[in-house]
Amino acid sequence: MAGDVWARGRELVSPAQRPLTQELLGFATVGVLAYAADLGLFLWLRGPVGLDPFTAKALSFAAGCSVAYTGNALGTYRHHPVRGPRRCRDLLVFLAVNLAGALVQLLCIAVSHHGLGLTSRRADTVSGAGIGMALATVLRFWGTRTLVFRGEGRVGSWTG
C-alpha cells in the first residue's frame, strides 16, 4: 500500500496524480546518473582509448541509455507496472526517444567539429555533452513521459 500512494499533506494521492515536481526530480536524478555514465565513458573513449568523437559518443550513449531506462523504470516511473509485450514496446519506444536525443547530441558535435572547425576534445565535450545533452534532455523528458511511461489518467499532465 505504501508504494501505491503518495502523501501530500494529509491527503493521499495516487502515483498518477503525483505533482510534476516529484516527477521532474526523479527524472533529473536518474538523468544525472545516466549523464555521469555517458560523460565518463565518452571522455575515456575520446582520451586514453583514442576513438573518434562519433564512435565515442555512440558507445557512451548506449551506456547512458541503459542507466536511464533502468533508473526510470525502477524509480521515477515505478508506478507504471508493465509486463510482457507492453514492456517490450515501452523499451523500444524508450530506445527510439533516446536515439533521437543522441542524434541531437551528434548533430551538435558535427556542427562544432565540422561546421565550425572546433576539433579539440574540449570542444567535442562542450558541444556533445554540454549543449547537445541540454537539448536532448528536453526531448527525452517529453518523450519518456509522453510516449513511454504514459500514466493514463494522470492529473494535470502538461504533455498530453
Residue 51: exposed, middle, or buried by beta-carbon count in 10 A (0-12, 13-18, 19+)? middle
Residue 12, H or E segment: strand 11-13
For 91, the grid coordinates are 523499451
Q: What predicted TM-score, i.e. pTM, was given to this entire model?
A: 0.65
- Residue 156 dihedral angles phi and psi, to the nearest 5°: 75, 25
Read off the pLDDT of residues 109-159 as tens digits, 9 standing for 90 and up. 999 989 999 989 899 889 988 899 889 989 999 998 889 887 643 444 443
Read off the pLDDT of residues 50-83 as tens digits, 9 standing for 90 and up. 999 889 988 998 898 889 988 988 888 887 766 6
Contacts of 91 (CB under 8 A, 6+ apart): 69
pLDDT-based confidence at residue 102 (cuts at 50, 70, 90): confident
